[in-house]
Structure 1
Amino acid sequence: MSGRLARYKWTLTLQEGILIFITMVWGGTFMVVHHAMTMSGPFFFVGVRFATAALLLTLVSWRSLGGFTRRELLSGLWIGIAIACGYGLQTWGMQTISGSQSAFITALYVPLVPLLQWAFLGKMPGIMSWCGVVLAFGGLLLVAGPESGGLAFSPGEIATLLSTLAIAAEIILISACAGKVDIRRVTIIQLAVASLCSFLLMPPNGESVPTLSPYLLGSAFGLGLASALIQVTMNWAQRSVSPTRATVIYAGEPVWAGVFGRIAGERLPGAALLGGALIVLGVLVSEFKLKRATRKQPAVEK
């Protein structure tokens, strides 16, 4: 019995411990962005954030930047557009909803990935993916409108929900080009494109360059640094951490966002907290696969 229990024991490795710390930092960024929206328009903030990340990665990887291929340029272009749409809409939504709400709704991108793969690649989701979608959608109804008791979403919640589609598309695009491109070159291109697209979206949104306060600049540059470090660290750690374990760790992102939001004074209703728990559960369930039992073939006598 003890041997059977030992088989299921989760021994924390260095890489997993670092991913947990990264997830905590990730969760804390929602509170920072939410506060920054009181001083800046969303697309200017996102533009500065990803310009900083692109510049930092360029300085670190400049020796390997020669010889861009057409595939790398196109991959970086499309991924960058998806990032700009995802983070731009998410940040726009945080002008009117709390960081905790944004984090829980954003977590919906995980169960949405199998649905988009089915829609565009013809890959049918498994039963656990469907279960995860149902749980996450039920949680969304509780997180988005606990007071209304209906299906009426606010503009900020709708924008955040749309951002999850763009983030899910980003993941599918990254998977499609994995192994065919140089990761460092594509990452720099996608961050630069995301920054440029965000700045171009400022006039349609009625934005102008805000007053550059120390907190605003510190937040944008700090999140740019965090984005670069998170990207590099995830690529390093996931070489030895299984996708299932990584997903379990990443599912804690909205939980940490809720913890930091609580410390900052955010108070979500009980129904919204229950909805957040259902979304996290949906994220976890969608990543587990059912294994079919294989029949033992009878031994053949010789």
Structure 2
Amino acid sequence: MLSKIPATPVFARTMIGRAELALMAVTFLWGGTFLIVHLAMRESGPLFFVGLRFATAALFTLPIALPVLRGLTAREVVAGGAIGLSIFTGYSLQTLGLQTIPSSMSAFITAAYVPLVPILQWFVLRRRPRLASWVGVALAFAGLLLMAAPRDGLSFGRGEALTLVSTLAIALEIILISFWAGRVDVLRVTVLQLAVTSGLAFACMIPAGEHVPPFSWPVILAACGLGLMTAFIQLVMNWAQRTVSPTRATLIYAGEPVWAGIIGSIAGERLPAIALLGGMLVVAAVLVSEWKFRRAAGASSA
């Protein structure tokens, strides 16, 4: 006679532990970054700001990775370069968009990268998306249409369009990280990708015609503060997701644009009701795209 395995109490499945609380704090910080960048764009060009932000993040991470840097391989150089290029593209376009659109609008549009990841994986990694992924894409598309038509009909401005394109680069970053996962040293690649992002941003200032802005403490503090925050967030995510499932983590991350909307509203930003509805559909798309349909527990029991 087989002994029964004790059922996990409901409170144990729903209890929020330290790792979940840490990820919630991360989403709050993420939500606040959009407003910080939006305000900093009044005094700085986007490429200089991105370069300074990621240079700070690289310098902050370097002491942690220094003991293992001697073992840097060619594969890790390629991985760090490719991931860094995607980060540079995504964050530069997002920062450029924040020059002209509210921080809460940027956060809602950026969240659309989550349902895009499974679709891009289909083309890059040949992994067929689940039904939930397609439903998530449909919801995100509907939400983006509503955000594109808050006043005078369907019209995506320059800032919205740049931010939407940035979501493709951010989704590609996630796919590239997944592609090289388990085959490279995380610390070495992390430092390299941050340095590549910073170097590309500074290098592109010349062809883009962007000049170093006049010295401004708000810009320096914002860029360096976000750099430290970027490194801190990455370290917390790496620690917390050792015990938090990807699905549960994504549910927590879905709060990022919500926090951005709340913080933006406190700062005086006001989005039309139809745009807020679109933003909520994007958040729903994030949640639905990670939903895993399971058969009832008793369906397979003998």
Give the TM-score, by structure 2 length.
Answer: 0.94
Aligned to 2:176: 173
Q: Write the distance in 2 (CA, Å) between the matches of 1:296 and 1:270.
A: 46
| Secondary structure class of the residue paired with 1:276 | helix
Please name the residue that 2:4 is paired with.
Answer: none
For residues 41-56 of structure 1, what are the structure 2 equivalents within 5 Å? Answer: 41-56=45-60
Query: Does 2:276 correspond to 1:287?
Result: no
Cα distance in 2 for partners of 1:48, 1:297 equals 58
Choose which of 83, 95, 109 in structure 2 pairs with 1:79.
83
Choose from 21, 24, 27 the match for 2:31.
27
Measured in 2, the distance between the counterparts of 1:212 and 1:62 equals 31
What is the CA distance between 1:295 and its match in structure 2?
6.5
Whether the aligned pair in 2 keeps the contact of 1:101 and 1:144 (CA below 8 Å) is no
Alignment map for 1:69-108 (pairs within 5 Å): 69-108=73-112
SS of the residue 1:207 aligns to: coil
Is it true that 1:237 corresponds to 2:240 in the alignment? yes
Note the C-alpha offset of 1:149.
2.1
Q: Distance in 2 between matches of 1:204 and 1:257?
A: 32
Write the distance in 2 (CA, Å) between the matches of 1:125 and 1:82: 22
SS in structure 1 at match of 2:222: helix
Please give the per-residue CA displacement for 1:216-261, whole angstroms capped at 9, x wherever unaligned: 0000000000000001110010000000110000000000000100
Q: Structure 1 residue runs of 4+, over 6 Å off?
A: none
Alignment of 1:242-281 (within 5 A): 242-281=245-284
User: Taking structure 1 as reference, are residues 4 and 81 closer, same or farther at Cα in structure 2, changes over 3 Å only?
Assistant: closer
Letter in 1 for 2:247: T
TM-superposed deviation, 1:28 = 0.3
Q: How far has the Cα of 1:60 moved from its partner?
A: 2.7
**Which residue in 2 is equivalent to 1:124?**
128
Unaligned runs of 5+ in 1: none
Identity %: 57
Q: Name the SS for the 2:96 alignment partner.
A: helix
The total of aligned residue pairs comes to 295
Q: 1:206 offset after TM fit, Å?
A: 2.0
Aligned pair partner of 1:61 in 56, 65, 69:
65
Question: 1:291, CA displacement in angstroms?
Answer: 2.7
Taking the TM superposition and a 5 Å limit, the aligned residue runs for 1:187-206 are 187-206=190-209
Q: Match for 2:161 among 139, 146, 158?
A: 158
Q: Secondary structure at the match of 1:268?
A: coil
Q: Distance in 1 between matches of 2:41 and 2:269?
A: 16
Q: How far has the Cα of 1:143 moved from its partner?
A: 1.7
Query: Secondary structure of the residue that 2:242 maps to in structure 1?
Result: coil
TM-score, scaled relative to structure 1: 0.94
For the residues of structure 2 that align with 1:177 and 1:90, how far apart are their CA atoms?
25
RMSD: 1.7
Opposite residue 167 of structure 1, the aligned amino acid is I
State the distance in 2 between where 1:256 and 1:119 align. 32
CA distance in 1, matches of 2:44, 2:177: 30
After superposition, give the CA deviation of every residue in 1:246-301 in whole Å (9 maximum; x if it has no partner).
Answer: 00000000000001000100001100111111000000000012235797597xxx
Residue ranges of structure 2 left out of the alignment (5+ in a row): 1-6
Give secondary structure in 1 for the equivalent of 2:42. coil
SS in 1 for 2:127: coil
Partners of 2:272 and 2:68 in 1: CA distance: 50
